[in-house]
Chains A and B, each alone.
Chain A
Amino acid sequence: MSKIIELKKVNKWFDKFQVLKDIDLEVAPQEKIVICGPSGSGKSTLIRCINRLEEHQEGNIIVDGIELSESTKNIEKIRAEVGMVFQQFNLFPHLSILENCSLAPIWVKKLPKKQAEEIAMNNLKRVQIDDQALKFPGQLSGGQQQRAAIARALCMEPKIMLFDEPTSALDPEMIKEVLDVMVDLAKGGMTMIVVTHEMGFAKEVADYMIFMDEGKIVERAKTKEFFESPKSDRTKLFLSQIL
């Protein structure tokens, strides 16, 4: 089966501190992978390496057949195909929600403005905030902002979506509206890598679970096996603490 993301023996250091240790990972198209682990285990760094918001020092990362290297052309190409959703939303506060969504399609994909806005409105409808399109990010609730951020990423029509703790900065009552959108997205067949602590969500959509600790992938297993019969002691301990 062809792989859309391949990581081979990836190592990364922040100065002398090694954050990623010999990471091997393969993701097939339409697979949903949830990465969990204690804070500082390198899970955010791992997915940020996939669209090169962080540089790795050793090993290979191949996304959709393109190897991530120094070439900026390659990087921009990959980033246009990989959508990313951040913990802090990172919407552009000086632009309306509609402009947030249509900006990159217009300037990066060179779509005509009208078509880009049509795509933006469709995606905003998909995350159910099309009625907020003309407002500015500062006027929206946290949950609405995160859904707008998801819509913004979708407007680039990415092949892969990365989620970096998308619900960690939200009030409890807003988490569900964001997770609902993500579940809907997963059912639509998107390839997704999600860093999250929402184990209910993981059980519902993930094909594979990955447990990371101290920069290493400790366990990679089918979701059902992972929760019912984890192999390593470290995973058992972690699960017992958060479930």
Chain B
Amino acid sequence: MNLIAKPSKENIKTYVPIGLTLVSLSFLDVFVNAFFNLNLMAFLPSKFSYFLPMILGFIGFYLIRIEFSEVRYLDILNKNINSNNFNALLTLFTIFIIIKSIPPMLDWFILEANFSGNSKDDCTGDGACWVFIKVWFNRFMYGLYPDAEQWRINTAFLILFALVGISFFVSEKLKKYFILFLVFVFPFLGIKLISGGSFGLEYVESAAWGGLSLTFIISAFAILFCFPIGVILALGRRSSLPAIKYISIGFIELWRGVPLITVLFMSAVMFPMFLPDGTFIDKLIRVLIAITLFEAAYMAEVVRGGLQALPKGQYEAAKSLGMGYWRMNALIILPQALKLVIPGIANTLLALVKDTPLIFVVGLMELAGMIGLAKTNPKWLGMAMEGYVFAGLVFWVICYAMSRYSQNLEKKLSTER
């Protein structure tokens, strides 16, 4: 005797409406509770009313779990979020948490947040004090770079974006020159413009650079240099000449084995001690070299992974056509190996960008460093949350853009259709 029949195609007409009603009821209860602070089930014992949405939703999901119902949307729903009791519970739990967390997030970010004003006292709400970001925005972007000279940084980056933008629209042949210029000439012109000291531009020492522009400068240069060094190290590690092979292995393992923060500290504090008196290398350059060599070691191992994935036949075919070592690698091996490891390269470069805040140990302050400085300002105590949420958002945007670019590149270069 089966009083409550298992949900099936026969009773679909009764079970699905009841089930959907129960599920909607449970969502409604949580929604009203989260957004309007009302408890619809207040008349029930408190412990029971707390779990009621879960129970209602669970029963509802059970009733609509009909296999091969031939109702398209019901099948999709069941297959993806309601395939068994455990999945139904997980689904409910996730949806409840999302509904529950929207109001407080909304409050903190927007509704209770303060946007206008120019001091901490203007922040009267319970939410975020975005005034902090607004007032300090200039410092977060440019560090301690003099206000009057900031057009130089803007110009450098505007030219960069313009060149990159134009390069998408020019012919293949012209594009090659654009890329060569962007990689080999522009970085040095740009840095000259920012540091000044000639052409009537006032010299701005690198200690004054900072904020997001410094993040970009360090990341760009480190990426530019660590990539070729990494490729050479990877080839060196697979070389048949023992001297080159063991030097490469030693270099890679040394740099991979040391924390970046130690490397940076050494580069700023220890390294000058070994230099002869009177010689001076700018701190920023020392830090840049340290980050470059550090990330190059990681890059080398990523590239080596790609080299090892290529079948031996590719090497043999290239050799049998009379290609020497460099031609074989440049024309046949590296194009394929690098394509294979684009995700790994993107990984390393993203890590590089996110490692830049560590330069605070030598007193250089990019975005996160400037925020750290601003939050200790006596007039702005207690703004750490706003600052780091802002930093997190900015870094996320940068890294997500890089990640999307790498995915596009992968798609564009794929020839295995």
Contact = CB atoms under 8 A, between A and B. Distances in A.
Task: Decide if A and B are genuine partners.
Answer: yes
B339 to A, nearest CB: 7
Interface stretch (B143-151, B198-206, B319-327, B373-381): B319-327
Interface string A212-223: 000000000000
Contact of A92 (B314, B319, B320): B314
Interface stretch (B2-10, B152-160, B330-338): B330-338
B321 A79 contact: yes
B278 interface: no
B316 A80 contact: no
Interface size class of chain B, counting residues whose CB lies under 8 Å from the partner chain = 20 to 34
Interface string A143-171: 00000010011001000000000000000
Contacts of B416: 93, 136, 138
Contacts, number: 71
B322 A79 contact: yes
A136 B319 contact: no
A14 B145 CA distance: 66
Contact of A94 (B319, B415, B417): B415
A91 interface: yes
Contacts of A141: none
Interface in B293-314: 311, 313-314
B106 interface: no
Nearest to B314: A90
B397 interface: no
Given A136-B415, A136-B417, A90 B322 contact: no
B321 A80 contact: yes
Interface stretch (A17-25, A100-108, A111-119, A124-132): A100-108
A156 B320 CA distance: 10
B320 A76 contact: no
A195 interface: no
A84 interface: yes
A90 B310 CA distance: 11
Interface of B: 311, 313-314, 316-324, 327, 331-332, 335-336, 339, 413, 415-417
Interface of A: 51, 53, 72, 76-77, 79-84, 86, 88, 90-94, 103-104, 107-108, 136, 138-139, 149, 152-153, 156
23 contacts: A53-B320, A76-B322, A79-B321, A79-B322, A81-B322, A82-B320, A83-B320, A86-B313, A86-B317, A90-B314, A90-B316, A91-B317, A92-B332, A92-B336, A94-B413, A103-B321, A104-B321, A104-B323, A107-B331, A108-B321, A108-B322, A108-B323, A136-B417
